[in-house]
Amino acid sequence: MKKIISLASALALVFSLTACGNNSSDPNSSNKNPSNSNQTSGESITINVGHFGSEATAVQEGCLAMKDYLETNSNGAITVNVYPNNSMGSDDELCQMVQSGNIQMTLANSIIVNYIPNAVIHDLFYNFDNIDDVKAKFMEDEDFLSTMREVYAKEGFYLAGYSVHGFRATTANKPIYAPEDLKGLTFRVMQNDFHIKGWQSMGATPTPFNFSELYTALQQGTVDAQENPVETIYSAKLYEQQKYITKTNHLQQTQQWVVNLDFYNSLSEEHKALFDEAVKIGCNTATNSALAKEAEWSQEIEDFGCTFVDLTDEQRQVFRDAAQPEREAIKAAVDPAVWDTYTA
């Protein structure tokens, strides 16, 4: 019932924004009537963007950079409203709202697999050796981007781009140098069958539960370890309850900039080109900000007294070999074209 009320409230917010004059017509009209002719450069367009991040996050910086570019270069034809902090709904609700056309855009995380089964490819452990390889795949590899856009389009989404936010790391009260070090550890993971399988394969005892309960669980010793990107470890102060952060780098952290497909298709060619360039700027801004801030966050964490542990390529390969069952499970779950372009 809470979810229904939350979604209804979010929808009411969107409709009230429209009534207040942010757009000269219903912002969802192009989605409800996809057969309408493309918008011309003289029409007023409103893009409502909802996302999970706070005002201080890299994703917010990226969204504001996109907003600035679109509003400045469209001669006033395009207005972008950015709603951070899940103020329009939960991650899942935001994806629902974009798919149905009730808002135009969101930045999606792993919840997108509820709508795009092939998106589980993003959960493949140990596919990248370094962050430059991650950026090359998600931001430059046109074969991969084209393949994924086709997959997303089948479910009513336009995949506008990706931003890259670093690797996920493992925290515990001891350093983790090898899979053997995970044995006996109760390990908090998100509710994701592939993540659970991966950590089981590497020797941990994965325990999925809500992130909101994690700090207290670490404090009380209900769980011994967990994994998250440095940004989250810092913002949630998880380092206060863990002595070591091991850079397992088992999984990259990216955000998917997804748009309602009918809305995107309703844009004129001129506005499509403008929008695509704006998203590119937004993704680059978010990526650069996240990676630059990671160094600052890491220093603050170290100053607090938490120790970072680097792994050698050889040590990381041992983890990769142990996680092979997870890799095989994902290979079986996705289309061959998705697997081939992602792992190439």
Mean pLDDT, the chain, whole residue set: 89
**Higher local confidence (pLDDT), 244 or 34:** 244
pLDDT at 249: 98
List pLDDT tens digits, range 49-74.
Answer: 999 988 988 999 999 999 999 999 99
Token pair for 284? 């680059």
Among candidate residues 5, 227, 57, the one with its CA nearest the CA of residue 125: 227
Q: At what angle do helices 313-322 and 324-333 cross, to 10 degrees?
A: 60
Q: How confident is the model at residue 42 (pLDDT cuts 50, 70, 90)?
A: low
pLDDT at 338: 98
List pLDDT tens digits, range 289-318.
Answer: 999 999 999 999 999 999 999 999 999 999
Mean pLDDT calculated for residue range 76-84: 97
Is there a contact between 289 and 128 (Cβ–Cβ < 8 Å)? no
pLDDT at 54: 86
In the chain, the N- to C-terminal Cα span, in Å, equals: 44
Residue with tokens 């969204």: 63
Among candidate residues 43, 42, 39, the one with its CA nearest the CA of residue 266: 39
pLDDT at 191: 86
Is there a contact between 267 and 59 (Cβ–Cβ < 8 Å)? no
Q: Does residue 22 surpass a pLDDT of 80?
A: no
Q: Does residue 40 surpass a pLDDT of 60?
A: no
**Higher local confidence (pLDDT), 114 or 12:** 114
Strand 157-172 relative to strand 307-309, pairing: unpaired
List pLDDT tens digits, range 257-268.
Answer: 999 999 999 999
List beta partners, residue 171. 226, 245
Is there a contact between 307 and 297 (Cβ–Cβ < 8 Å)? no
List beta partners, residue 206. 187
Q: How confident is the model at residue 336 (pLDDT cuts 50, 70, 90)?
A: very high
pLDDT at 43: 76
Mean pLDDT calculated for residue range 173-188: 97
List pLDDT tens digits, range 269-281.
Answer: 999 999 999 999 9
List pLDDT tens digits, range 193-239.
Answer: 999 999 999 999 999 988 889 999 999 999 999 999 998 899 889 99
Q: Is the dihedral of CA 90, 92, 96, 101 positive or negative?
A: positive
Distance CA 331, CA 344 (A): 13
pLDDT at 235: 86
**Higher local confidence (pLDDT), 281 or 6:** 281
Q: Does residue 29 surpass a pLDDT of 60?
A: no
Amino acid at 312: T
pLDDT at 41: 46
Distance CA 123, CA 161 (A): 17
Q: Does residue 5 surpass a pLDDT of 70?
A: no
Share of the chain above pLDDT 90, in %: 82
Is there a contact between 213 and 226 (Cβ–Cβ < 8 Å)? no
Q: How confident is the model at residue 9 (pLDDT cuts 50, 70, 90)?
A: very low
Is there a contact between 47 and 78 (Cβ–Cβ < 8 Å)? yes
pLDDT at 230: 94
pLDDT at 26: 35
Q: Does residue 34 surpass a pLDDT of 60?
A: no
* CA dist list (Å): 187 to 158, 202, 232: 35, 11, 16
Distance CA 157, CA 49 (A): 14
List beta partners, residue 107. 257
CA angle (332, 324, 188) in 5-degree steps:
100
